[in-house]
Amino acid sequence: MVHALNEIRRILKPSGKLIDVRPLEAGWPVEIAAASGVVEAGRLVDLPVAVADDEAASAAMREAQSRGWFVKEREEQFSFYYYWDTPSEMKEFMETEWEGFEKLEEGVFNTVKSIWARANADAQVRVSVKLLITRWG
Amino acid sequence: MSLQKDPEGNEKKYLHKFADFKNKRVLEIGCGEGRMTWKYASTSNLTIGLDPDRDALRVARADSPADWRGQVHFTNASARNIPFTKETFDIAILAWSL
């Protein structure tokens, strides 16, 4: 990762900016969202591989900063939502796309199904992924 | 599957809050199928999407709007060896790829 950051520094103009956008493991909330409101059903469990990836990325940026390659100018966090029409579709996605990184515990899934089944017809299931965006000069 | 990603457009909003892409030369590292690319590339002078996944790049090229094809290009490469000369870009984006 540090080598890649040095490559990025090489191809940037002296006044260039690096924008780093990445998810942060934070026990992302699973919610039922409808026009009438949003209800949290529980949270995903961050698996060790995902947490280690997070830590490695942060360590690489710290190393780049300590070598004087980049200076942090601005940083914020925001939510990036994934929506599904049904709890089953959400579960299927997680089992294929997020396997090894995020775990949907059975109890949380049952709560999602229960809340969703009682909600209005427009209700969707969503996961609020926490994103970090940082500008480096 | 009914998956929708970021229908609120938060990622696009924050990208434009953090960088002015107008007339800039942009390198996006880990562009994948171009999901993020389409959120800013139209305002740039030139955008290069970089990714080691050839299949993802095939999708990105196929999805590339016809009127952007002179200004958006996709390259099969890794961030460990970026195939451009020094001081080429105004902005580099790490797209969920660090």
CATH of the domain at B63: 3.40.50.150
**Rounded to two decimals, what is the model's pTM?**
0.94
Give the pLDDT score at B2: 86
Chain B closest CA to A108's CA: distance in Å? 19
Return the number of other C-beta atoms located less than 10 Å from residue A38's C-beta.
12
Q: Where are the domains of chain A?
A: 2-136
Give A22's contacts in chain B (Cβ within 8 Å). Answer: 94, 96-98
Q: What is the mean pLDDT of residues A80-90?
A: 97
Ranking A69-73, A84-88, A101-105, B69-73 by mean pLDDT, the lowest is B69-73
B31 touches chain A (CB under 8 A): no
In a domain, B80, yes or no: yes
Residue the block writes with tokens 């094809």: B69
Give the pLDDT score at A49: 93
Report the mean per-residue pLDDT for chain B: 95
Cβ distance B96 to A76 less than 8 Å, yes or no, reads no
The predicted-structure confidence for A18-38, as pLDDT tens digits, reads as follows 999 999 999 999 999 999 999
Cβ distance A16 to B5 less than 8 Å, yes or no, reads no
What is the SS3 assignment for chain A?
CHHHHHHHHHHEEEEEEEEEEEECCCCCEEEEEECCEEEEEEECEECHHHHHHHHHHHHHHHHHHHCCCCCEEEEEEEEEEEEECCHHHHHHHHHHHCCCCEECCHHHHHHHHHHHHHCCCCCEEEEEEEEEEEEEC
Confidence at B68, pLDDT banded by 50, 70, 90: confident
The predicted-structure confidence for B18-37, as pLDDT tens digits, reads as follows 999 999 999 999 999 999 99
Beta strands in chain B (DSSP E): 4-5, 25-29, 46-51, 72-76, 89-95
Give the pLDDT score at B1: 53
Which one of A1, A89, A135 has the shortest CB-CB distance to B98?
A: A1
ipTM for the whole complex = 0.95
Chain B closest CA to A121's CA: distance in Å? 15
Confidence at A103, pLDDT banded by 50, 70, 90: very high
Q: What is the mean pLDDT of residues B73-86?
A: 95
Q: What is the mean pLDDT of residues B43-52?
A: 96
Give the domain extent around B57.
10-87
Number of domains in chain B: 1
Give the pLDDT score at B98: 86
